[in-house]
Amino acid sequence: MASRISAVWTDFGGVLTPPISHTMGVFCRSAGLDPAVLMAAVEKVTRDYGTTDMMEPIDTPLVTEAEWLRQVGDVLEADHGVSLRLNSLADTWFDGRETNHAWVRALREIAARGVFVGLISNMVPAWDAHWRRMVPVDELFADVLLSFEVGHRKPQAAMFELAARRAGVPAQECVLVDDLEHNLAGARAAGWHAVLFRDARSALAEIEPLLEPKELA
């Protein structure tokens, strides 16, 4: 029988919001960009930082968002003849982005059963105020763990070790809910449970058997 869980840590982008691919598509349409061209430029800049994760340079951060965007703009212009000069993606990335209210309700249900609920996200510093407008942070989360604040990021083991300590429970009593398989693999390697997020109903159905049974009124 699987161990009971005492802490649920949820991702933000792609879980409490639509998938990143959807948001990227909206951004490209608004900017008049071919998504394949933008991704080629981002991937080229990403390789210069010795990683294949396009968010790692700006959510640890290894570089400011403004400088990273300048580098992406240089590649777009030099390699593709496309002019795109931005100082920040925050307004464009978050304006009109929808909150996943079904998952907010599910997290409230979980917290009401006495389970620790936290947010664990690879987050860009300049985006901090923007994401906080989308969810009732203080009401919903017992703790918030952001990569740029702690110097670790998913799927690094140190991120999960810190999260378990902050929740005050052993690793085997933690679960990560995330939309990216490599983050889930990191959680499993750290001794956590892991749930691939597709929608609120299926995620809650996977978590429910791991929770303590509800007490009868």
Architecture of domain 7-17+98-210: 3-Layer(aba) Sandwich (3.40)
Overall residue count recorded for the chain in this entry: 217
Digit-coded pLDDT (tens) for 136-182: 999 999 999 999 999 999 999 999 999 999 999 999 999 999 999 99
Cα separation values, 151 from 46, 102, 178, Å: 18, 31, 20
Q: pLDDT tens digit string along 134-144?
A: 999 999 999 99
The answer to whether the CB of 138 falls within 8 A of the CB of 169 is no
pLDDT of residue 127: 93
Res. 204: pLDDT tops 80: yes
pLDDT, greater one: 33 or 212? 33
| Cβ neighbours for 141, distance < 8 A, ≥ 6 positions apart | 117, 118, 119
CB 6 within 8 A of CB 163: no
- 170 three-state secondary structure: coil
